[in-house]
């Protein structure tokens, strides 16, 4: 079943949005674990979650740091234009 360019564009934008959310979550978790006084906050809705992760700092880092590396540097092999220009893939522009 052929997929339209519009659907492909929408999916790539959604993937990019989810990657940004993932990187933001890893960044926040790292900051909270390294400097809890400055970044944790007492009234944070994630305060209980933060204390749970703080009990297992090494395990948390072993899990989230490779995820951050994967999200920020992994190349998508299903989009040939990704290596040259991510915008060309998202916008559907063809290289000439």
The answer to whether position 67 is within a domain reads: yes
pLDDT (tens digit, 9 = 90+) per residue, 23-50?
A: 998 998 899 889 988 887 777 787 788 8
The answer to whether position 96 is within a domain reads: no
Tokens of 45: 């809705």
Three-class SS state of 37: helix
Could you give the number of structural domains in the chain? 1
- Residue segments in the chain with a per-residue pLDDT below the cut of 70: 74-96
Calpha distance 94→96 (Å, rounded): 6
The answer to whether position 13 is within a domain reads: yes
pLDDT at 86: 57
- Which DSSP string do the residues of 15-47 spell out, in sequence order? HHHHHHHHHHHHHHHHHHHH-HHHHT-TT-TTH
Q: What is the pTM of this model?
A: 0.68
pLDDT at 90: 53
The answer to whether position 54 is within a domain reads: yes
The answer to whether position 61 is within a domain reads: yes
């Amino acid at each position: 079943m052929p997929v339209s360019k519009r659907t492909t564009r929408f999916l790539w934008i959604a993937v990019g949005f989810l990657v940004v959310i993932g990187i933001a979550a890893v960044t926040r978790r790292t900051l909270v674990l390294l400097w809890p006084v400055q970044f944790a906050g007492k009234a944070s809705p994630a305060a209980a979650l933060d204390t749970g992760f703080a009990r297992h700092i090494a395990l948390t880092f072993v899990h989230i740091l490779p995820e951050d590396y994967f999200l920020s540097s992994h190349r998508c092999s299903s989009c040939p234009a990704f290596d040259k220009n991510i915008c060309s893939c998202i916008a559907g522009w063809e290289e000439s």
